Each structure stands twice: as C-alpha cells, then as structure tokens.
Amino acid sequence: MKHNNSILSLSLAVALNISVLSTAITPLLVIAESAPAATQDEVEKGPHNGRMLRDGSFALELAIFETGVPPEFRVWLTQDGKALDPKTVDLNVKLTRLGNVVDDINFFAQNDFLRGDMEIYEPHSFVVTITAKHQGKSYRWQYDNFEGRTSIEQAVADAMDIQTETAGPAALHQTIPAYGSLSLPAGAERHIAARFDGEITRLHVALGDKVSKGQTLFTIESNESLRSYQIKAPIDGVVTAQLANGGEQTSGRTLLTLTDSTHYLAKLAVYPGDFAKVKLGAPVTFQLEGHSHAYSGNIEFIEPKVRDDQARIAWVNVSNENGDLTAGSFVNAQIEIASFEVPLAVKRVGLQGFRDFTVVFAKVGEQYEVRMLELGREDSEWVEVLGGLLPGTEYVTENSFILKADVEKSGASHDH
C-alpha cells in the first residue's frame, strides 16, 4: 500500500534542505508522523473463507488452500445462489507481481471446485485479475492484494541512507572464537654478558636505544690479558634493560637486555570441542585490547600438549610494524574453520522478521517488497539463500528496519 502523505511530507523536508538524519532515530520519527493508511474496504468472505466476487447472478469464491499441499487457488462457483458444475466454467487467474512478473494460472475441475495448476508462492502480494466464461458469457474482476510492500521516493530513501546491493554469489568464511594474549617469540629477547671478565671501559648504548645487529654495545678490558675487546649486538632490537655501567666489573653477569619486538605471537586457547576444526595455516582475524583496528595472520604452530584447563594453544605470528604492541595484551580472535562459495547470498544486516519469515526487502524502482527467504549456511557477514529470492535482485542492506516499520505501520494483512 502506498503512503502518499508520508512520502509528501518527507519529500518536502528534503526540498527544504531539512536533514531527516540529524539523529540516529530520526527516520523512525518521520515515519511515525505520517498519516495513517486508509482503511481497506470490507471484503466479502464466502463459506470457504475465500473472497467472494459477484457479477449479477453469477458468483465465485476464490480461496488459497494450503492444508497438506503447497498454497494453491481453489474456486467454488454459484449462479442464483446454487452451486455450478465446475466443468461448465472456464477460469483463468493472472497474478501481476512487483516488477511486472505475471503468474498465469489455469484451472481444472476436481470434485465440486476448480483447482489452480500452480503454487501461489510467497509473498502473496500481487494485482489479481480473474476472467471466467460460463454459457457464452464472460466475466472479469481485478483487485489489489498487497502485503509487505511500501513506496519511498528515491530522494527520501537517499536521505534516510537506505542502501541496496544486488543478490548474487558470495564467499562465506565460518569461524570459531578464541581468546589469548601476546607473547614474544623465542629468541626475541637476548641477555648480553661478557665472554671474558674485565672492566667496562665504555658503554656505547643507553636504555631505550634502538640498535642494529653487529653494533658495538660495550668495550671491555680483560682482567687477564689487559687487552680491550668489544661486545656487539647479536640481533636488531631495543635496549630494554641496562644492568651495568662504565668502570664496573662484568663479573659473569647480564650487562643488558636486547629485545626484538618487530613480531609477537598471539597464543590462542582452543578447547576440546574445536580441536578437530582448527588446522595449521588457518586464517585468523583478531582484535587487541586497546586497539581499534583488526589484525590478521595464520596459525603457524599448535602446541602438542594441553593446559590444565584442557585447552591447546595455537600460535599466530603478528607483525608489530607500528611498534605499538606489548607482551601480555589480551587477544579476541576468530579462527576460520571453513571457506566456501555459494551461488546466492545476502548480507545479514539486511535481514528482518516478517510474520513467521525471515525476509529482505526487494527494490523495484521506488517500491519495496518483502521476499521470504529459505536460508542455508552463514558466516558473520553473509547468509546463503536457498530459495525465495532470484539472483540479480536489488535488495536493501543498510537501514532495512525503516521499511519494516513503514510496512507494519500500514497494517496490511495477509489476505487473499
């Protein structure tokens, strides 16, 4: 059902350069202020709870029957209030759906009624055109039977940030959650000592200095030979501990600590229920406590033993190219356990509930209508579609809740 008053008021707001998105809830407020939908004319119902259609003394009752069978049309016929033999009537029903898709339904006699030859698939939203012939006379009726449909001008939809995409194939990535923390890899921290005891005659670096492999750290005068020799950096790194100064004896102790922090290990706990799903090389995405952007990597090693809580630890190498990572930071990760292509999928963000169905809103021009979906596998972004939506359909992703609110406000019923 179209809501012209709502569209007019929203269009006027756009024309006056009034922002309808000044707050996150404004679109809902604008819809709530639109005029209520006009009350539908009362529809006459027949004894089979179908719609009665009359032309003089000739009448038919058109009903959707779906007890034990897929939904189908059944028609009972009368003249002057008396039942007609269905074999004496030629009947055709055309259902014109959104986008000018026409379902052409013919009928055959069964018992005391005419039975349609095709399923009436969801949504039951269409213009119904009925033609009948009986004893050389022709009859015709037409009426709108819309549900889950609304109209919004494009300028208004743009102002509301109603976004669409085209339904088609997608790559799904199924994941399991895992948690852990950052640690330095083995060999990333080096404790520097003198090969021969002696006096430190010169300290060439200071705490916090970045050093390169081969750079001189200390000059030592040997106690035995009284000759000087130098201690050089075994790795690139940062001086993270300085434990000796010039004029002191080395005395076989650690003089300083070098740390290579260019990489860390995210050590993730995997519990018994997921052991078999996690493989070496599996892609991992994760967030770090205190960091807004996501990191990614692959599982490079799985420890062969379990912890006391029965978790096995999977290692993921993390580059610290920005230099802002620290050991001990908590990790919240998603480990990919399956990846596959599906021929048809929609984004989860576009899904809404309608009656007992999960739906998306298809867009045709400036009209939007529900599509009842049969869903399959899913990941964090996509859901596989097994039925209810044609490939290539333009459907709403962002802000589909606005359309649901407008449809619910209209009060359109599931009627036939």
- Taking alpha carbons only, the member of 280, 376, 378 closest to residue 335 is 280
User: pLDDT digits over 237-290, tens only?
Assistant: 999 999 999 999 999 999 999 999 999 999 999 999 999 999 999 999 998 887
Position 335, amino acid: I
**What confidence tier does 41 reach under pLDDT thresholds 50, 70, 90?**
low
Classify each residue of 333-348 as buried b or exposed e, where b means 16 or more C-beta atoms within 10 Å of its C-beta.
bbbbbeeeebebbbbe
Specify the pLDDT at position 292: 80
The answer to whether 157 and 364 are in contact (CB under 8 A) is no
Q: Which pLDDT does position 22 carry in this prediction? A: 37
Model confidence at 321: pLDDT above 50: yes
Q: How many angstroms separate the first and last alpha carbons of the chain? A: 15
Model confidence over 281-311: pLDDT tens digits? 999 999 888 788 888 999 999 999 999 999 9
> Tens digit of pLDDT for each residue in 132-180?
999 999 999 999 999 999 999 999 999 999 999 999 999 999 999 999 9
Summarize the confidence of residues 97-106 as an average pLDDT.
94
Tens digit of each residue's pLDDT (9 = 90 or more) over 53-101:
999 999 999 999 999 999 999 999 999 999 999 999 999 999 999 989 9
Please state, in angstroms and as integers, the Cα–Cα distance from residue 355 to each residue in 122, 148, 201, following that order. Answer: 12, 10, 84
Q: What is the pLDDT of residue 31?
A: 34
As a whole number, the mean pLDDT across the chain is 88
**Phi–psi pair at 266, nearest 5 degrees:** -85, 115
Task: Report d(CA 151, CA 30) in Å as an integer.
Answer: 15
